[in-house]
Structure 1
Amino acid sequence: MTSRRFIRRPFGSGQFHNIPGNIIRHRERKNKARRGIIMPRAHIRNDPTVFATLPPANYAPSPPEDRPAKRKDIAPMDAARTEIEALERDRAAAIAVGDLDRLAAMVTDDYHHVDADGCVRDKAGYLAAIRSAAGRYLDYKLRDNRIEVSGTVAWVHGSFDNRFEAADRSVRRKLARHMRLYRFENGGWRNFYHQGTLIAAAE
């Protein structure tokens, strides 16, 4: 009968023989110490063959060659700015010609629009206000547009200048500041908030 103080370990030939358990544990502890898994005991710490293979104290593992793919819901900053710049130009052009389909595709379902006069509208109200406008835009220009991106959210701040011709042929000019918030979802950026602040108006 094998003593509890012995552990049966095979030779290369497949035969077994009894090895004292304390020797097995000592060898396993030395192997773990070499790999930095455990803090070796005193009699192992004094063994130069153990720490000859240990990494230095300031060791940092190298990054894996195959890095995990980047999250699809986060766009690189440069690509995000380029896409949002194009959306801002498309938005101004769509407002000028009254392209409601394009405007509807650019905003989220939870869109909130705060006009320069303080009126608050949701997506449906925003599109209805453009649809019912009695007149047409002569031009709609963006000025000093700045785009900041942080993860899946971006904000655009600047000013706009537009001229609107009413049904009676009178022309109204509006100069205002704006703040728009964009959210990256389903592979693209969409506007979910707009805030306008009037600077000046000229008849």
Structure 2
Amino acid sequence: MPLHVPPAPAPALRTVLTALGSPTAVREARTPSLRTAEGPVTAELPLPVHVLDRVTAPGESTTRLAGWRFLIHSAGRAVAAADTMLTADGWAFSRFFEGPYVAATERALRQAESLPGAYQPRLLSVPSLYMLTLWLHGDRGADAAAGHPAATDLLVPLAPAPPGIAAHRPHRVAELLPVLTHRATRIPLLGSPA
């Protein structure tokens, strides 16, 4: 079933388009594939990026909107991504980047389109595990900037995923969130690497 990709805030999209149109911003980006892209580049598939701050109780979590991510396409494929962030003055361009999460996001979105049910795609970052997931929210009409993962929502870990968690395998939030919580709160045997 097709995904309902939420519209990004217009100012966030404008900042990305302005950066894409700036030779200086593109030239100074650490994204060789963006600098060498032939033909036009477009900002597509805006996804709100939420950060999992903590789990407050079984099945409940605290998340916050950190920004919007756009996949940058050239010649029919994603070559980079652009992040925006909310500042006191409104939406601002943050950075261009490339790497495994760009291709993994595109792959997970294609995979999600073949799943039964209707979803609103989002990204959920789990900083304590250096993990990023495609969050398939069951309420397609929800405000993309708000909300928390529902027990029946799906999380698709993007590659590279932490050891022991299969990338690109959809998991119900009720199944995966306790595993992530346990891993994030474990006390390291050898102490902190600080």
Q: TM-score, normalised by structure 2?
A: 0.28
TM-score by length of 1: 0.27
